[in-house]
Structure 1
């Protein structure tokens, strides 16, 4: 059971303005509609959300919120769990320490784009369809593909043009904020990576993150199971939230390395062409194995192509647990 699933199984221990807002977003309700549902004024809901972790609703309201979550459909509950987990992993929230403390040296937030990254340690792995032994130095890789919400932060910082599926107003639709961004060329993905002081992964970095040091055929192991990812056989027909397929996570805790969207790599396969990894909701499961080869023109953009980033092991400071909290250590020890 994942942390998100455990949280739903136990219920929310204490509702604050942060959880209340998250539940409203999971239901995709306006402030007014949400207020009506739980029997308070919209002014009160706005006050809670503005107060965040410092506001705790009354006990009667806490019970109403418990009920609203418990009777919600599976889709809403999963969305709530995903949002809670991602907020803790990427926000300036003290609960980040709890989320990451169990494996502090293997997961960190990047200081520029705030994305959770997993450490891929140096060493050998079995690469390609022939199981070639390859050594790679250590690196960090994004746990999730770059989402529409993450790409929106980049656009606000740089003023670059939004992807075509965001509509005429250039805003990210609420319905896909936690889906991988698509309709980006290799050049646009590379520009994001440069802004974040990262890079696109080489095809071998990507493959090692997906297969682990033992070279599993798939992130989850040996079984060719299409149900563990969003591919054509799934019949979904569109992108899904990046943390949906928890049973398909890699040995290093990295999500969506099979299915959902093809991901750009830094490895050039020919003049103006670059490798793609992972398959997508439009492609058959047969192409999802991390050892599989695919490539495209650097100017190609499509509704099934996105990216994630990597950075060198040295670019993020080591961390240690002191006094029950994680402390970041820079090169000079401060």
Structure 2
């Protein structure tokens, strides 16, 4: 299949930006020698800017990949200057992603800091949001200081939501939920937020198996939030804490159940109590059975499934769902 003609300037730009392999250089020796030039950021950006008019999302993703892959060979000063003066959110995101790629690939440890500064200081909220998106699925959670704690308090709801999405995806995709410092940074950002939806989004999707005692304490403090969605998310997060935090979390959640009035939070409390105790939670659940008659069937379902002696939480969840779906 032939490529669209609009790909040609981009392919040429990428070819000129990337070094030629020695074998390819030897094979090309008989041909007239080409004079090498430093790859032009402006030339590449002009080609990408023209390509933004394409209706193909795949083509647009290709262009972003092109700039990111070229980033380590592009002149650093030109790239930073182009990013600093760019006002179009889409183009700013492309350039920010290229700078982040330089840091991720070891070419320039400070490049990501330039992106972080603009995410915090840029006056235009659309450009701030685009710059935040450029740091998704990267090491920014660990390498940008308190950036996320500040972004979750941004005046723009879009920026706050983009920051929350970054945190959730970074923990899951970059760290696979098994890196304590990153998970602690996520908890700190959630606790710093004054936007209930942002806090709930982060905590409701956070695996807390590797968090510190300090982070567990922050989660417990969020149980006093006036917002039910924040309390529910904090309860859910406490259900997965490390063994060292289980006893304290379990006691806190059990004490909370009788005073909690929101049915969604109470349902989450039952699940986290079950998760923290497995079969040893059965007597505790039995004592809670008549506190809220509307949730008695939920308590009974947990008691039944925990009594099966299953040792994997995923299996317990699956079996409980099967029991509740059975006629």
Q: Same fold (TM over 0.5)?
A: no
Q: So what's the TM-score if we normalise by structure 1?
A: 0.29
Q: So what's the TM-score if we normalise by structure 2?
A: 0.29
Q: Which has the larger radius of gyration?
A: 2
Relative contact order (C-alpha < 8 Å, sep 6+): which is higher?
A: 1
Larger proportion of helix: 2
Larger proportion of strand: 1
